Chains A and B, each alone.
Chain A
């Protein structure tokens, strides 16, 4: 079965640089979520999109923005990167038939130096 695809899988950036993370949801899933997981922590919700519209917003810094495109893939744009942005970034998707189950991608491991 198709799963959530995230790219890149690993990313190394310098402070103050920008990064773009991409997410391709499971086919026919209409909701995409972004989570950030710091070392030894649980995933923290950043933002979600339903049918290409922002549906909920969590603790996402103003330096970050995201959108969902017409093909339902989503991108998380991160600017003015800080050391504290180093984390594992997950994308998850959900379909209407899934009874609220979110399926996660493999994550993008971002390291800011």
Chain B
């Protein structure tokens, strides 16, 4: 069984502040993939980043960065210098290889105030 926990329900920040979203996961698989998706108020689900279990290198992509720590089963996501357009629900998700379903966390609502 796979489980994703996003303990933060809502986060509210002022524009230009950094926002870090926490994600903790449980899985018995030795190989797995972790994702962050964004769901803006318009409703679509937008893929942001992917990390596989055998690559713990943390990266930065524009204003997005992520911290994957296998030892603590965490996959945290940071938005640097937040903007109003970053206001959305952010979902952390997990899947084993071979095309299985995504297991989502409950989501964190991020509100960025001007």
Contact = CB atoms under 8 A, between A and B. Distances in A.
A94 B91 contact: no
B33 A100 contact: yes
Nearest to A30: B99
Interface size class on chain B is 20 to 34
Interface stretch (B19-27, B60-68, B74-82, B102-110): B102-110
Contacts, number: 60
Interface size class on chain A is 20 to 34
30 contacts: A41-B106, A42-B91, A42-B104, A42-B105, A42-B107, A43-B91, A43-B104, A45-B102, A48-B99, A48-B100, A50-B99, A56-B99, A88-B43, A92-B45, A92-B102, A94-B99, A100-B97, A100-B99, A101-B35, A101-B47, A102-B47, A103-B47, A104-B37, A104-B44, A104-B45, A104-B46, A104-B47, A105-B44, A106-B43, A107-B44
Interface of B: 33, 35, 37, 43-47, 50, 52, 91, 95, 97, 99-107
